[in-house]
Amino acid sequence: MLGPVTISRPLLKGSRLARTSTLLRLLSSAPPSSPDSPTTTHFGSKTVPTTEKEKMVGHVFSSVASKYDIMNDVMSLGIHRLWKHHFINKLDPGMRRNSKQPLEFIDVAGGSGDIAFGILDYANEIHQDRVSKMDIVDINADMLKEGEKRAYELGRYYQDPRVRFMVQNGEKLEKIESNSKDIYTVSFGIRNFTNIQAGLNTAYRVLKPGGLFYCLEFSKIDNQLMDWGYQQWAKVLPVMGSVIADDFDSYQYLVESIERFPDQETFKSMIEKAGFKSVGYENLTSGVCAIHWGVKV
Amino acid sequence: MTTMRALLTRRRHPVLRIQRRSIMLSTWATLAAGPSLVNYLFGNDTRMANAMDAGELHNKNDDYELQRRERVDSRLSQLRNSRPRTPRYEGNIPLYKHEKLLLFLISGIQSYFHPENGLNIVKLGEATAIAPFLNHLQQIMLQDPTGRRILRDKPFVHTSILHMDKLSKLPENTFGYTFYKWCKRENVGPDTRAPVKYIDDPTHAFIFRRYRQCHDFYHALVDMPIIIEGEITVKALEAANLGVPMAALGTIFAPWRLKHVQRERLFDTYIPWALKSGWNAKPFINVYWEELLEKDVNDLRRELGIKLPPDLRNVRKERASLIKQLKAPYSPKP
């Protein structure tokens, strides 16, 4: 062993990245394919105590918060923008003109705000809805800060009474009342939950009857050729992250978290188990990611 | 003849469209059934039909959960086996040769345009730390009793071990106090060095880490500030003394980014001084800096064979004040 881990120079940029690698390296490697026991869960390729996973995921996102958009662009070669565009268009959010009550949106694990602001913009443009409210919720305060910064740079939704930025754990959402939301969206966030079923149950609690659960997440690829292509890309990505951004561990975690996430049908049955009805899914780019939805009856 | 003509001019029977289509379909089906690219790309339905036929689909005896987990595990293990060899120490990321080349090219370009970002220099250093260089350093260390002790003890430079507050209380002529004063002047600390990642052999990784962590000691020893000129000077010193490839690259290429005056200073005074001092001095890698903190700094310099260069900060300050004087409007003395 080479002794205690170092903290990188405060003068250097990228010290946050070193902090992540530092933390991830503190773990000892465990044998693979250990099932989820009540006390341990998986974090990337490592098996870690359940209580630790939240913190570690937090550190991954703290370190990449400022470069989250670039990282998404690199990982999906820019296609994530198309996916999110389709996600919002399919949802068609917005209070209709004959409606009396504004809609209540909640975007979970959406710290960077791209879906949240996209929904509000769409509602504004297409349905002339300027009164619906949005709660942007994320477990990581750094990501929320990025979201607030983006709102400020956009020139809208910053210090807007309609939009609330809150640090909340998606599995509990303590500050959100039950039966209070019309639409619950989660985009590329639910795979980071320690307990996905708990997240789905909380979504059920938080939604009003008639509310919609709407989730965009990586999933199982149908097409064998594209699957092979994706696997090669996933092998190369952590090294590229390491060489260019000096962050091997974050990309390795992200690639493995995608692999661990259940496939379309399994996730559909998990959503049904939480109590949602009319659960369905749509594959995007032949299964690279999938939109799942469910209605609380 | 007439039969010939009759045959040649025979009108074709109109083939029904649906019969025509079935020929195409059967062609596609044949192509799809056997091993072919078409089957690979589009043959999902055929594959499912074959599986259904063989009784593999919707088989109540299959443990789907186990199959799913096994599939996920095999894919995960493939992802984890992307490295050429297992990591040999905490934080090691082994690279293939083409990846190392890519690291060298990318960090080289990044370091040229942004040398102030320490991460770029760190990556370039590890990419260029080739085995002959590290073996050479290892030999130098093994041939010296202090070097051998360093290799055995594997000291780690960190404030918790160095205790900067204790150094501030040492007499002013000691190396420890010089180092403390230099750190305060330049506003840096000793625990600011990134860990080694891309060097696979643990001993080589330690030697490179030791080199990286002692960089500040070299700065304090020759009293060079951390501005770009000072860094280039110390890099030249390290290149001459230890033969570090990245230091040599930096000495050759980095001055070209500077202003003319800085370049002149470097080429006339500081780089020649650094090269001469480095060549003639004892190898710095064999110096156990932690044990010499209470030693008189001038004694240490004499023993190592170093003579101080002109103080870079003073030289720059003098030139700045001279220029200021020349720029000031002429006012005759009363």
Quick check: A207 pLDDT over 90? Answer: yes
Nearest to A188 by CA among A219, A157, A163, A167: A219
Chain mean position to CA B258: 23
Which burial class, exposed, middle or buried, applies to A204 when counting CB atoms under 10 A from its CB (0-12, 13-18, 19+)? Answer: buried
Nearest to A60 by CA among A1, A111, A107, A6: A111
Quick check: A5 pLDDT over 60? Answer: no
**Least Cα separation, residue A162 to chain B (angstroms):** 40
Answer whether residue A15 is part of any domain: no
3-state secondary structure of B51: helix
Closest residue, chain A, to B99 (C-alpha): A239
Nearest residue, CB atoms, A4 vs list B93, B156, B189: B156
Read off the DSSP letter of residue B296: B
**Least Cα separation, residue B68 to chain A (angstroms):** 9
Answer whether residue A25 is part of any domain: no
Answer whether residue A212 is part of any domain: yes
Q: How confident is the model at residue B35 (pLDDT cuts 50, 70, 90)?
A: low
Closest residue, chain B, to A243 (C-alpha): B103
* Six token digits for residue B266: 């470097």
3-state secondary structure of B333: coil
Which burial class, exposed, middle or buried, applies to B132 when counting CB atoms under 10 A from its CB (0-12, 13-18, 19+)? Answer: exposed
Record the pTM: 0.73
Within 10 angstroms of residue A78's Cβ, the number of other Cβ atoms is: 10
Please give the span between the terminal C-alpha atoms of chain A, in angstroms, as a whole number.
57
pLDDT score of B11? 61
Q: How confident is the model at residue A62 (pLDDT cuts 50, 70, 90)?
A: low
Could you tell me the CATH number of the domain that includes residue A214? 3.40.50.150
State how beta strands A289-295 and A207-218 pair: antiparallel
Nearest residue, CB atoms, A244 vs list B75, B79, B106: B106
pLDDT score of A29? 34
Instruction: Quote the domain boundaries for residue A176.
Output: 79-219+261-295
Please give the span between the terminal C-alpha atoms of chain B, in angstroms, as a whole number.
133
Q: Does A256 touch chain B (CB under 8 A)?
A: yes
Quick check: A3 pLDDT over 50? Answer: no
**Mean pLDDT throughout B288-314?**
90
> How many structural domains comprise chain A?
1
Nearest residue, CB atoms, B117 vs list A12, A35, A239: A12
Whether residues B73 and A13 touch (CB distance < 8 A) is answered with: no
**Least Cα separation, residue B156 to chain A (angstroms):** 7
Q: Tokens 């995921």 appear where?
A: A57
Angle of helix B228-242 versus helix B271-280 axis, rounded to 10 = 30
Answer whether residue A115 is part of any domain: yes
Quick check: B236 pLDDT over 90? Answer: yes
Chain mean position to CA B161: 26
Kindly give, in sequence order, each residue whose CB lies less than 8 Å from that of residue B114, ignoring residues fewer than 6 positions away.
Answer: B120
Closest residue, chain B, to A5 (C-alpha): B195
Quick check: A266 pLDDT over 70? Answer: yes
Q: Which of B76, B111, B219 to mutate to test the interface with A (most CBs of A within 10 A)?
A: B76
Quick check: B107 pLDDT over 80? Answer: yes
- ipTM of model over 0.95: no
Enumerate residues 205 to 244 of chain A having a beta carbon within 8 A of any beta carbon in chain B: 222-225, 231, 234-236, 238-239, 242-244
As a residue count, chain B comes to 334
Query: Residue B159 — φ and ψ, nearest 5°?
Result: -60, -30
Whether residues A239 and B82 touch (CB distance < 8 A) is answered with: yes
Answer whether residue A288 is part of any domain: yes
Nearest residue, CB atoms, B78 vs list A25, A222, A231: A231
Nearest residue, CB atoms, B76 vs list A9, A12, A259: A259
Answer whether residue A4 is part of any domain: no
Q: Is B126 annotated as a binding residue?
A: no
Helices (H), chain B: 2-8, 17-33, 37-42, 44-54, 64-80, 97-113, 118-128, 131-142, 145-153, 159-162, 164-168, 175-186, 202-222, 228-242, 245-253, 260-265, 271-280, 297-304, 312-327
Query: Residue B237 — φ and ψ, nearest 5°?
Result: -60, -45
